[in-house]
Structure 1
Amino acid sequence: MTLLSCIIIQILWAFSAKGQAPACEEPPAIDFGGIVSDDKSEYRESDKVQYKCNPGYSLMETEWITCTGKTWTPAPQCLAPCSLTKQQLEIKNLLLSNGRRHAQLIQSDHTLEFMCSEGYTLTTPSVRKCVNGHMDLPSCISEIGKNCSRPPTIENGDITTFLEKGYTSGSFVEFKCQKFYAMEGQNRSFCDNGNWTKASLCLEPCAISVEEMENHMVELNGRTKENILQWVYLKRGDFLELRCKPGYALATNLSQSTFMVQCNGNSVVYPECKEIVCDPPGVVNGRFRPQRNMYRDGDVLIITCNHGFHINNEQDTAECTKNGWLPPPGCSRM
């Protein structure tokens, strides 16, 4: 047997059923966890491996990954727990919901409820979530301290609680924003030893005029110009569903009929709505009318075939649409 024959046999064996080349390299390692399925010397297409996190850590995404197309599907992540000590609770004048203080280990994405020690008032939400090793603890203020005078006011908002001559430490006032304004922060301000905690803000809405929408060739989805006022107000963070005006379509995605815009404190950004136009079709072995240089959405042609030819699609008309002429005009030999 020649040297060339030996090489060919070795290559064929390498790619035979028993000697097939590996599809994927070693599966990726993850922090604070590892692979618990059986190890393999080689990984082939559709092979799977299973991960498990260290005690206290939470697995994010699926525990299995698969060898697909010579690469592994994304590996999971092990999220860290939150550790809470008795000293942390004492410093913040906090108690657990059972009225006691003791060390806690909270898994990521799990919540814990708190309360304040006697003589203190909770100024922030009592339930907190652990997010990958981090948890913001609530705040408590003392009910013993200097009184506060007149509470703060907020622009574009009002105080909804009854006004008093004086406010003891730990007491609060509530705010409400005017119509269409969105509140940023808590709706309460607390008297803290003679000073008021930071008041909330009322964020301005986005005001969208009918004229502005017409300039961008858009309109409200599901509503006509006749049943809206000259202005549409959108709260900060809210979305509004729009569509291109009849005869226009989204320049970036012809198949999409509607789109969303968001009020985020800046000018509303509209996608481009492009007029739907069609060029004159090339009808071989036939003619069409009316003859124009350009056609718009909804325009219809009448097709006439030459002698010995018949209309394609058994329809002698074609309409200009965002997808071109439908049905495509043409004539075929009989």
Structure 2
Amino acid sequence: MAPTLVWLLLCQLTLYTTVTSKKVCSRPPLTDGIDESTLKRVYEVGEEVTLTCGQGYLASTAASQRIACTGTGEWTQSNLACSREGRTEAPFKTVYVMQGANESRCLHDGTWSNPPPLCKAVNCPLPKPPGDGRIVHNKPVTGTTTMYGQSWTYECNPPKAPSYEKGACMADGRATEPPVCRDVSCSIPSGIPNGFITFAVMRQHRYKETVKYGCNDHYVLDGDAEIHCQNTGNWSSKPVCRAPCKVGIKRGRIFYNASKLWIGDLKPNRILHGEHVAFYCLNKADRCGYPVATTCNDGILPIPECFQEPGKVEYNLRPKTLPSEITMCAASPPASPTNST
């Protein structure tokens, strides 16, 4: 019994090994340009795959290239190669230059006067850095050329500044010539109306040094708070401090800062630049009120033409009849010369 039992165990082990060691093929090895979109991760023995070139690539052969997964877990050989030659779509911003005659005439002997011209993509040689600086490319560059439209920035060793900062590959196939690195300084920074300079030493500043501005209380900074010394020796644009506004009515109600206020309760009477205020107007036809918004702009707050400031008696004795207190209209009336919104 013992030899028979051992023989059965060996048969089962052999069967188990045969089943579990079945070979499969992983995704086939691919060369550049072959379309991978329809490929699976794993294939069983005997499965076949048809290889094709992706969009923009030309196949080296017209015959379909089928490969099969073999029992060794490897793929059969393929001689398909995909080339960028014959690509029909041009990279973004690519410019082509025509080499050869731009016209050809049919001659009496049945031939053409000129062969077809060639259209060649414009490339530029790699740009030269300034003598005392370097180039920072906006995109990674490989090889010895750049494409039309690619750009870069010139930098000089501090404290020098480039005579110009930007360069690019141009349509005529030339790269921008390198700038000259030179000493540049900007004048002592000056103040701004209703504002001040923060954290700055009052001296001449070198290229790329900065100065920061702030505004007095209740003034709003319009523009970049920080300016810098440019390669031209001038400062970049200074910001402006925009003035607050006063609501120029004595009687009435406004809607400001998410609240409905009597003008006497607006203390202090001040609206910051860029803030909105709504005045209440009367729709005489429907006897209802509606709000009209206006905006403070550097000390000036326009009052809507449709707003009518109530008299003292009406304001003090009959405030509930004012447009701000009666039923609000379902919709504001259309604008007109006598009823501006």
Pair in the same fold by TM > 0.5: no
TM-score w.r.t. length of structure 2: 0.36
Q: Which has the larger radius of gyration?
A: 2
- Higher strand share goes to which structure? 1
TM-score w.r.t. length of structure 1: 0.37
